[in-house]
Amino acid sequence: MSETLQSELDQIQTLLEKRLKLSGELADSLRRARRHLPHRMRRAADDLVAADASFAHPRIAATLDQDGLLRKARRLRAYLAELDLKDRRKGRLLDIAATVGFALICVIALLVVVLRWRGFV
């Protein structure tokens, strides 16, 4: 494994610990981080985990595309560097609040329509 790819994987590991609070082996951390990653990043993470396991075997390691793996690692590192869990949580709470608010408005409008139809309003 080249030094740059190893350093990228180390940086990904530290970002996973810092941003997503996932510690342990790189493979385990990336497996647990899958739900926080978009589809392309999931595929890149899977490829990096498979490559990390393959680097222990010299003949298999020689067949791997290290430039492609380095690009994937850099893309994943860049995504993790700009990931903000507080902002995601706040967005999720605002989304839930908007959904509940819209449902309440619909129920109140339906109640007014039914009351008017029945002649109470």
Domain that residue 50 falls in: 2-64
| Confidence at residue 107, expressed as pLDDT on a 0 to 100 scale | 98
Average of per-residue pLDDT across 1-18: 88
| Whether pLDDT at 2 is above 80 | no
Q: pTM of the prediction?
A: 0.75
Average of per-residue pLDDT across 79-102: 94
- 21 located within any domain: yes
- Which letter, b or e, does each residue of 42-70 get, where b requires 16 or more Cβ atoms within 10 Å of its Cβ? bebbebbbebbeebeeeeeeeebebeebb
- 101 located within any domain: no
CB 51 within 8 A of CB 9: no
| Confidence at residue 1, expressed as pLDDT on a 0 to 100 scale | 61
- 111 located within any domain: no
- 27 located within any domain: yes
- 105 located within any domain: no
As for how many domains the chain has, the answer is 1
